[in-house]
């Protein structure tokens, strides 16, 4: 096992990569408190049909080879929260499950793995991307680059294999697999990762997944169906750095408007407002005055990025709350 871990570390050290400083260029943003992230420099992928200068081809290639600016916004925000996450004594969870949807390079979750795995609580991350080759050739190397060091041991490697899963394909397919606990995995790390049995996560991360109306609708659907629901069933909302029983939290980094394709923050808000998840086993009142309840999503803007030079970007916090029919 020690030799195997050493071989993996040696392999990782041979990857061509660039460093990404974790400090925002926006005025007033705090400087980074942690080391830069590493991202692999993709080589020529002979097994792909991706024309040069093409960001995405809907239904064929969903842009996973590019580092999108909203994913870096999400990294900057996580960096700001790291001290709170690392030092908060009131965080009462022993386990923290994370889903990164449409992950591409997966940098936000790579950052969380690097800084928190084995330090604060038992953490698992499921990376999901439309394209299998993106997970294999980009996401997985980035995970290894950012988590395994020359000093890493066999125990470190084993911890990583049980903490990270990867799955490719359509988002609604993913939802079905999570709901039925039939998740197929694609990962050279092995098959030790186990998703939450109920298919619901403490944290869901996504960047640039709202670029069309359909994508915004599917993003909202995935959040509502796979974010952990509050135990208290109240209108209180979960904070990633507070630690309580009020359910999961999703962070959506998005451009305010995607010109030419119709998606963006407002469209996503509308899709969240339109969705509801009826509680099957929960009625209020006696037989004659039963009231149905359902879950909805609250969307809150927590950061705005506007340098006056390009499209305005927003970081959204999404949390579930219960509505009771009066």
DSSP per-residue string spanning 45-90: -TT----TT-S-BTTTB-STTS--HHHHHHHHHHHHHHHHHHH-TT
Other C-beta atoms closer than 10 Å to the C-beta of 197 total 7
Do 37 and 20 form a contact (C-beta atoms < 8 A)? yes
Band (117; pLDDT cuts 50, 70, 90): confident
| Cβ atoms of 320 and 295 closer than 8 Å | yes
The pLDDT assigned to 221 comes to 96
Question: Quick one: residue 133, left, alpha or beta (phi over 0 = left, psi -120 to 50 = alpha)?
Answer: alpha
With beta carbons less than 8 A apart as the criterion, state whether 229 and 49 touch: no
pLDDT tens-digit series, residues 259-274: 878 899 999 999 999 9
Predicted confidence (pLDDT) per residue in 297-317, tens digit: 999 999 999 888 888 999 999
Structure tokens at 143: 């995970």
Mean pLDDT in the chain?
Answer: 79
The CB density around residue 217, as the number of other CB atoms within 10 Å, is 19
Question: Could you tell me the CA-to-CA distances from 231 to 83, 183, 195 in Å, in that order?
Answer: 27, 25, 20
**Closest to 107 measured CA to CA, from 222, 16, 20:** 20
Q: Quick check: 48 and 71 in contact, CB under 8 A?
A: no
Strands, E assignment, 73-192: 95-101, 122-129, 164-168
Instruction: Identify whether the C-beta of residue 62 lies closer than 8 Å to the C-beta of residue 56.
Output: yes
- Check if the beta carbon of residue 134 is closer than 8 Å to that of residue 94: no
pLDDT at residue 120 greater than cutoff 50: yes
The residue assigned the tokens 């670029």 is 211
For residue 65, give the nearest of 36, 103, 16, 22 by alpha carbon: 103
* pLDDT per residue as tens digits for the range 151-183: 677 777 788 888 999 999 888 899 999 999 888
Flag whether pLDDT at 6 surpasses 60. Answer: no
| Residue 218 C-alpha from the chain's centroid | 14
- pLDDT tier, 57 (very low <50, low <70, confident <90, very high otherwise): low
What's the confidence (pLDDT) of residue 236?
39
**Phi, psi for 217 (deg, rounded to 5):** -65, -45
Does residue 175 contact residue 222 with C-beta atoms inside 8 Å? Answer: yes
Distance of CA 60 to the CA centre of its chain: 21
Residue 104 CA to residue 106 CA, distance in Å, equals: 5
Backbone angles phi, psi at 104, to 5 degrees: 60, -120
Q: What is the pLDDT of residue 62?
A: 66
Q: What is the mean pLDDT of residues 287-298?
A: 78
CB 215 within 8 A of CB 88: no
End-to-end C-alpha distance for the chain, whole angstroms: 61
pLDDT on residue 2: 47
């Amino acid at each position: 096992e020690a030799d195997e871990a050493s071989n993996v570390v040696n392999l990782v050290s041979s990857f061509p990569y660039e460093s990404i400083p974790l400090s925002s260029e926006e005025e007033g943003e705090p400087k980074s408190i942690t080391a830069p992230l590493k991202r692999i420099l993709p080589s020529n992928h002979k097994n792909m049909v991706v024309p040069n200068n093409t960001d995405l081809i809907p239904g064929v290639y969903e842009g996973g080879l590019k580092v999108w600016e909203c994913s870096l916004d999400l990294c900057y925000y996580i960096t700001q929260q790291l001290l709170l996450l690392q030092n908060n004594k009131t965080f009462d969870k022993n386990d923290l499950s994370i889903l990164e949807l449409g992950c591409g390079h997966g940098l936000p979750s790579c950052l969380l793995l690097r800084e928190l795995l084995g330090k604060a609580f038992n953490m698992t991350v499921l990376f999901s991307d439309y394209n299998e080759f993106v997970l294999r050739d980009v996401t997985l190397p980035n995970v290894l680059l950012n988590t395994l060091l020359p000093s890493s041991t066999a125990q470190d490697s084993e911890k990583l294999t049980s903490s990270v899963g990867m799955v490719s394909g359509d988002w609604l397919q993913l939802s079905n697999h999570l709901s039925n606990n039939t998740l197929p995995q694609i990962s050279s790390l092995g098959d030790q990762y186990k998703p939450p049995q109920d298919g619901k996560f403490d944290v869901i991360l996504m960047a640039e997944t709202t670029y069309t109306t359909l994508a915004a609708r599917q993003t909202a659907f995935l959040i509502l169906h796979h974010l952990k629901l509050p135990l208290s069933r109240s209108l209180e909302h979960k904070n990633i750095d507070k630690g309580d029983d009020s359910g999961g939290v999703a962070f959506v980094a998005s451009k305010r408007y995607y010109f030419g394709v119709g998606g963006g923050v407002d469209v996503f808000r509308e899709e969240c407002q339109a969705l509801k998840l009826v509680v099957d086993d929960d009625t209020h009142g006696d037989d004659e005055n039963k009231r149905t309840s359902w879950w909805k999503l609250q969307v809150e803007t927590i950061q705005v990025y506007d340098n006056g030079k390009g499209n305005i970007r927003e970081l959204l916090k999404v949390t579930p709350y219960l509505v009771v029919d009066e």
